[in-house]
Structure 1
C-alpha cells in the first residue's frame, strides 16, 4: 500500500507517519521509485502500536524506542523482556532505592517484587503522596487492594499464555507487545469503571440526592 493508504488504514496523518519514519519508529517501506515506497501489514501493525504508545499511553519518543527495542530483540528470558518493556511505561518517578515504604508494604502483604523495579518506585511515590495528604495507606488496606488486583492480573496473564507460548523465541516479542498494549489500553478502562462504580454506589446509597 502507498503511504496515503497506510494513513487511511491506520488513522494516522501522512505527516505523522513521515515523522515516525524519520525518527526510526517505523521501518522504511519498500522503494518503488525515487520518491515513493510501498508498505504492508507489518507497517500497519507497527504504526498502530506506536500510536497506542504515544496517544493513549502518553509515552515520550525515547520511551517508545525503548519498548520497540525490546520487541526487536526480546532476548531469551520472557520475564526480563516483559519487565524491560513495562519499565518504559508511565508514570515516571525517581527510581533511587531504597524505597522503604513500598518495600515494607510489599513484604507485609507477601507480594514478590524486584527492589529496583520501576513499579516499586511508582508505589513509593504514591504512598508518599498519600502520607503528604494526610491519608496514609496501611498494609492491610494495600493488601485488600492487591487481592482484587490479583484476580484481574491472573486472568490477564492466563489469557496471554493461552493465546501465545511465552517460552517460544519466535513468539516472545508478540507476548511482550500483548502485555504492553494490554497495560496501556486496559488501565484507562479500569480507572473509568472504578469512577463509574463509585458514582453508582453513592447514588444507590443516597437516592435522596437525585433530582436535588
Structure 2
C-alpha cells in the first residue's frame, strides 16, 4: 500500500507518518519508484503502536524512539524490554524531607525482604512509596501502614496475573504495547475495582442505610 492508504488504514495523518519515518519510529517502506515506497501490515502495526504509546501512554517522541530502538535490538532480552517499558510509564515522586522518611525506607526494605522482592531500591515506585509511607506516619495514620503486608500480598497476585497475560503473547511488539498500556489502563481498572470492592465490603459490614 502507498502512504495515503497507510494513513487511511491507521487514522494517522500523512505528515505525522513522514515525521515518524524521519524520527526512526517507523521503518522505511519498500522502494517501488522515485520518491515512492510500499508499506505492509508491519507498518500498520508499528504505526498503531506508536500512536497508542503517544496518545494513551502519554510518552514523548524521544521516549517512544528509545523504546523502538530497544524493541529492534536483538541484544535486548524480552525481560529487559518489559522492564524498560514499565519504567517509562512509572513516575518517581521524591519524598518530602521529614523525620519519618528513613523509618519508612527501613520499613519498606523489610517488607520487600519478606516478599522476596530484590533490588527494588532504585525503582521509581519504591521512592514514591517511601514518600507515601512517611506522609501517612506524619499524619498519624499508622493503621494504614499496618495493612501494607496485606496490600503487598494482593499486589503480588495482581502482578502474577499481569505476567500470565504477557507470557501468552509471544510477540515483542505486542508485549511492549500490553506492558505500557496495560500498566496505565490497568492502574485505572484496579482503582475502579477497589472502589467497587470497598462499597461491597462496607455494605456487608455495616448494612444499608
User: TM range, normalised to the smaller chain?
Assistant: 0.7 to 0.9
Cα displacement string for residues 78-136 of structure 1 (whole angstroms, at most 9, x for unaligned residues): 443322332222324459xxx85346314225231322223322323443554566656
1:50-65 to 2 correspondence within 5 Å? 50-65=50-65
Q: TM-score, normalised by structure 2?
A: 0.73
RMSD: 3.4
Q: Tell whether the 8 Å contact from 1:10 to 1:47 is kept in structure 2 after alignment.
A: yes
Q: CA deviation at 1:154?
A: 1.0
| Aligned with 1:108 (options 111, 127, 142) | 111
Stretch of structure 1 that moved more, 20-29 or 99-108: 99-108
Equivalent residue number for residue 156 of structure 2: 150
Farther off after superposition, 123-132 or 82-91 = 123-132
Counterpart residue number, 1:7: 7
The answer for the alignment partner of 1:141 in structure 2 is 147
Partner Cα distance (2:51, 2:105) in 1: 32
Q: Which runs of 5+ in 1 are unaligned?
A: 165-170
**Cα distance in 2 for residues equivalent to 1:142 and 1:19:** 46
SS class of match (1:87): helix
Cα deviation, 1:4-49, whole Å, max 9, x if unaligned, reads 3222322333333232222222222223343432221111111122
Provide structure 2 residue ranges, at least 5 long, that are not aligned to the other structure.
96-100
- How many positions carry a matched residue from both structures? 199
Evaluate the alpha carbon distance shift between residue 89 and residue 74 of structure 1 in structure 2; reply closer, same or farther with a 3 A threshold. Answer: farther
- Aligned to 1:17, the other structure's residue is in SS state helix
**Are the counterparts in 1 of residues 91 and 124 from structure 2 also a CA contact under 8 Å?**
no
Moved more, 109-118 or 38-47: 109-118
Matches within 5 A, 1:35-74: 35-73=35-73
SS of 1:37's equivalent? strand
Query: Cα deviations across residues 177-206 of structure 1 (Å, max 9, x unaligned)?
Result: 543343234333223333455566668867
After TM superposition, the score normalised by the length of structure 1 is 0.72
Trace 1:151-190 onto structure 2 (pairs within 5 A). 151-164=157-170, 175-190=175-190
